[in-house]
Amino acid sequence: MEGRNGAATPAKGEIRFESGPLQGDVEQLECSPPCQGGGRGFKSRRYRVNIVHLTPGGYWYRWLADALGAEPLRSQWWNDAESTVDDPAGASYLVAVEGGEPVAWAGYIVDGDTLRCCNNYVRRGRNPDLYARVYAARHDLVVTRLGLPAVTYLFAQPIGLHKADGWVEDTGPDAHGVSRAHPDGEDHPWWRLLWTPPAG
């Protein structure tokens, strides 16, 4: 199936789980039932969302990298979250795919003995609950399963989700700050959070 500019996009049922540190998990991690969106402030429409796990090296990972690196999404993602698909290089992703397009994602990369969770985003105009779903998939299938000490840097909005799963704010002197996507951009307060595997 081809999308804009002739780029391949996954058709229904085409996305496959790609091998990585969680080899052996199901191909399609989650599929939502058709939803009317009532009571959430969104237009009533039917949709189906697949949540997939993509790791470096496969065809669909390259499709994801191309999609996240294309304009205007690349600039929107940077302006909103100060993240890009190539920083850090080699990150894996839990991705919500709707209508052949990535709509929300949560990344991670193993750095020695530490799991770094990174590159969290839900596209503009999309249901913010989609981020909660890819975050939950990453936490259940990556964070808790690998059992490594984990670190992430977050703006305010997703902190509550993380704290509910045992993440805590780092109290170090450099664990909180303010950044901007551009010199004349808006301030983005950020916090560093840590997750420690349960004892035993």
% of residues, the chain, pLDDT over 90: 62
Question: Residue 95: exposed, middle, or buried by beta-carbon count in 10 A (0-12, 13-18, 19+)?
Answer: buried
Instruction: Show the DSSP H helices in 82-125 as ranges.
Output: none
According to DSSP, the residues that pair with 108 across neighbouring strands are: 92, 117
User: Residue 3 has what pLDDT?
Assistant: 34
pTM above 0.85, yes or no: no
pLDDT, tens digit (0-9, with 9 covering 90-100), for 123-180:
999 988 999 999 999 999 999 999 999 999 999 989 999 999 999 999 998 999 999 9
CA gap 38, 23 in Å, rounded:
37
- Contact between residue 76 and residue 84 where contact means Cβ atoms under 8 Å apart: no
